Every structure is written in C-alpha cells, then in structure tokens.
Amino acid sequence: MRSHPKTEAPDAAAPRGAAGEVFRAFLKLGLTSFGGPIAHLGYFRDELVLRRKWIDEAGYADLVALCQFLPGPASSQVGFALGLFRGGPFGAAAAWAAFTLPSTLLLVLFAYGASAFEGPVGAGLLHGLKIVAVAVVAQAVWGMARSLAPDRQRASIALGAILIVVFAGGSVGQIVAIVMGGIAGVWLCRAAVAPNANQLSFAVPKRVGAAALGFFFVLLLLLPILSGALSSQGIELLDAFYRAGALVFGGGHVVLPLLEAGVVRPGWVSEDAFLAGYGAAQAVPGPLFTFGAYLGAVLGPEPNGAIGAVIGLVGIFLPGFLLLIGVLPFWDTFRTRPRAQAALCGANAAVVGILGAALYDPVWTSAIFTSRDFALALVGFVLLTVWKTPPWIVVCLLAAGGTAPAVL
C-alpha cells in the first residue's frame, strides 16, 4: 500500500520496512497504549508519524478519517493500515498481532482466574469492576453525544434509536436502529457534512477491494444460515462476534450492547462475568475489542477456553479489516458524496442512542444497587470526564472501593 497525499510523500524519507520492524514498533504500543481509541491514535502519531516518520501528518489525518468513517475498531484499523503501508500484508498482520497480543493475554488470564474470585473479597472486587463499567460507559455516552449528536436533528435520531432498541430489543433492534439512523441522516444531517480538502489514495487493486467487500457480506449473511442449518455452537459463536464487529459505528464502547445481545441474552455468559470482564478491559493497554477474547474464554458452552478466545478475537476483528481493505480503492470517490457522509452522521447518532440504552440495561441495572454504588460510579465518572484520570487508575480505585465493605 502506498499513500499519496498532496504533501510530500513520507516514504521518501522512510523506506518500506520488514514485518519484524513493524512488529517491534507495535508491540511497544501494545504494551503502553492505555486510555482507549482516541488516546491510541495519539500514541500512533507520536511514535509512527513524528518519531519514525512512516507517514506524514496529512496522510495520517486522512487515514484516521477513513477508519473513523467505517464500522470497526478505529485505532486497530489505523494500526493495520500503517502496518500494511510499512511492511505489506505481513506488516499488517504483524501490526495487528503485536498491538493486540498484550491485552489479549491479560484478559484471557483474567478469564481463567475469574473462578478464583470467590468469597466476600472476590465478590466485592468483581462488583467494583461492574461499577467501573457504569462510569466508563457513561463517559462514552457523554463524549459521543457531544461530538456525534450535538444538534436537534442528530439528538432526535439518537432518541429514536433508544426507543427502537427498548421496544424491539436484541441485536435485531440494534441493526434496525442503525439502518433507520442512516436513512434519517440522509434527510436530516446534510448541514453537518464538512467538505474534504485532502486526498488519500492507496495502491490496493480494485479487484482485491471488491473481493474483500464481497467476503464481508457473504460472511455477514451466510454465518447465521450456517449456524442454524448445522446446529454448530462454534459457527454460532463466530457469527455473534462477527456481527458485533461488523456493526460497531462510533467507537469501541459501542461493541458493549452488541456483544451483550450476542452472548449474554442466549445465556452463554452471565451478566456478572460480562460486566466484570468489561471493567477489567479498561485496565489493560491496547484495543478494547480484545474483550472478545475474554468472552470467548469464559463461555459456558463449548468451544470456550483458549479455542473460544481465538474465535472471539478473530470474529470481532475480521469484519473491520475486510471493510478497510475493501474501501481503500474507492475511498476518494465515496467520501466526496454528501449523501454518504450524511448517512454516516445519522448512523453515528443512532449508535449514541444504542449505547445510551445499554448504559441503563444491562450496565446500570447489574451494578448499581445502593446509594454507595451510585456514589462510586459518580466518582469514577467525574475522574474520567473532569480530571482526565487514566482509566487504569479509575479501575484500581473503584475495584478497591468494591472490596472495602468486605475488608472493613
């Protein structure tokens, strides 16, 4: 892949590297990138744009815009594209593996050790992690509402999405809410569309892009059919994670309600284990999507454990990467169409509503039982939004707060 922004080509100063170089650079990022997707993009800029000079500022900005436009984990998609730019297909694989591996291992270890959290202290710790989830999701809803639903039109779309999810329920309601949000956006969000000044083109053949897009839609449509026809728990599990990864607009936290509909409502994972793992995911570096590996490991029905973790991890990341590869050859043409951008604005507003509905059920209803729980969640929310405290510190404080009654 080659980037050709209007500014001076960055690879003139930084020639293509080997996959090993890409792996080492992203392993460092995977070990140190705390704070969520927006923070990850800042780490990437410091390490790969400013220090290593793999790509220039204009090219990086356009790449970020592309990945924020698409469903999927934006920071991991940017990392995948930078790895592809630097080291070709093997570089892309190395970038994803190195950035994802540290948090995956930590969360799988937490999954294996979750059964050890018994007794009053362990129960208090897990309850504290569930309260962390309340604070983190509330912060995500607050921040996303300010950026993705700042006017009456998009706020109304978000409210409509909440009503659809509440009354329809499940993953079907979430899909309908996103589709309806996109349709409403075509009519209501045209004023929110900003012109694109930069150009970014990638030397990915159109046939490769078309094949990736075709594979994305084939899996999205075929996996539910196969899981029903074959009665295979493994395929059903892959379908749940793939569908969640394919519909995540607006940031990693939006995967929470999609995964909850996919693994909690069928009874595969308990709400307590789900929210405890989500809270633990805030304390580790790297992408939030590695939460899928934790869920695959703690599943009740087989495949679970290590095999379930692999299925969850691959399933949740694969659709975002297929979409990225598929859109690269057509990006410059597509992004200049106002209707496409307006539809995206509406879909993004809808996911604010979906996440807002999830903030109440299951997050709030499973974690806030007393005024003390509410106070702890409020402390975490203020620390995250006002004091800009690193999430791992908030995790430690609220987990300690959850265990305090058992110790004192």
Question: With contact defined as beta carbons under 8 Å apart, do 243 and 221 qualify?
Answer: no
Render pLDDT for 62-86 as a digit per residue (tens, 0 to 9). 787 678 778 889 889 999 999 988 8
- Here the tokens at position 399 are 């987990």
Unique residue bearing structure tokens 């992690």: 129
Question: With contact defined as beta carbons under 8 Å apart, do 358 and 137 qualify?
Answer: yes
Q: 391-407 vs 119-148: helix axis angle to the nearest 10? A: 150
Beta-bridge partner residues of 3: 202
| Higher-pLDDT residue of 395, 216 | 216
* Sign, Cα dihedral of 216, 218, 224, 226: negative
Whether omega for the bond prior to residue 362 falls within 30 degrees of 0, making it cis, is yes
- Here the tokens at position 209 are 């892009």
Pairwise CA distance, residues 139 & 135, whole Å = 6
At residue 156, φ and ψ (nearest 5 deg) are -65, -40
Look at residue 171 in the predicted model and tell me its pLDDT: 66
User: Residue 132 pLDDT more than 90?
Assistant: no
Look at residue 11 in the predicted model and tell me its pLDDT: 41
Beta-bridge partner residues of 202: 3
Pairwise CA distance, residues 341 & 361, whole Å = 31
Has this prediction a pTM greater than 0.75?
yes
In the chain, count H helices and then E strands: 18, 0
Count the Cβ atoms, other than its own, within 10 Å of residue 380.
28
Look at residue 81 in the predicted model and tell me its pLDDT: 92
Q: What angle do CA 211, 215, 218 make, to 5 degrees?
A: 135
Render pLDDT for 217-243 as a digit per residue (tens, 0 to 9). 999 999 999 988 888 899 999 999 999
* Sign, Cα dihedral of 304, 305, 306, 312: positive
Pairwise CA distance, residues 117 & 273, whole Å = 11
Q: Phi/psi class of residue 269: alpha, beta or left (left: φ > 0; alpha: ψ in -120 to 50)? A: beta
The confidence band for 18, taking pLDDT boundaries of 50, 70 and 90, is: confident
Pairwise CA distance, residues 250 & 247, whole Å = 10
Question: With contact defined as beta carbons under 8 Å apart, do 108 and 35 qualify?
Answer: no
Closest listed residue to residue 70, CA positions, set 286, 347, 338? 347
Look at residue 4 in the predicted model and tell me its pLDDT: 45
Unique residue bearing structure tokens 């809808």: 350
Pairwise CA distance, residues 340 & 395, whole Å = 39
3-class secondary-structure state, position 202: strand
Unique residue bearing structure tokens 């920071």: 75
Q: What is the CA radius of gyration of the chain?
A: 21
User: Residue 364 pLDDT more than 90?
Assistant: yes
- Here the tokens at position 364 are 């709030």
Question: With contact defined as beta carbons under 8 Å apart, do 223 and 239 qualify?
Answer: yes
Look at residue 338 in the predicted model and tell me its pLDDT: 85
User: Residue 201 pLDDT more than 90?
Assistant: no
Look at residue 3 in the predicted model and tell me its pLDDT: 43
At residue 202, φ and ψ (nearest 5 deg) are -125, 140
* Sign, Cα dihedral of 407, 377, 164, 340: negative
Q: How far is CA 37 from CA 102, 135, 173, 178, 227, in A?
A: 16, 17, 26, 21, 32
24 Cβ contact list (under 8 Å, min separation 6)? 98
User: Residue 8 pLDDT more than 80?
Assistant: no
Rounded to a whole number of angstroms, the distance between the first and last alpha carbons of the chain is: 59
Look at residue 251 in the predicted model and tell me its pLDDT: 59
Q: What is the DSSP string of 243-258?
A: HHHHT--SSGGGHHHH
Question: With contact defined as beta carbons under 8 Å apart, do 82 and 63 qualify?
Answer: yes
Please name the amino acid found at residue 362: P
Render pLDDT for 277-336 as a digit per residue (tens, 0 to 9). 998 888 888 999 999 999 999 998 889 999 999 999 999 999 999 999 999 888 767 766
Render pLDDT for 245-277 as a digit per residue (tens, 0 to 9). 998 875 567 788 889 989 999 999 999 899 999
Look at residue 10 in the predicted model and tell me its pLDDT: 42
- Here the tokens at position 173 are 């309601």
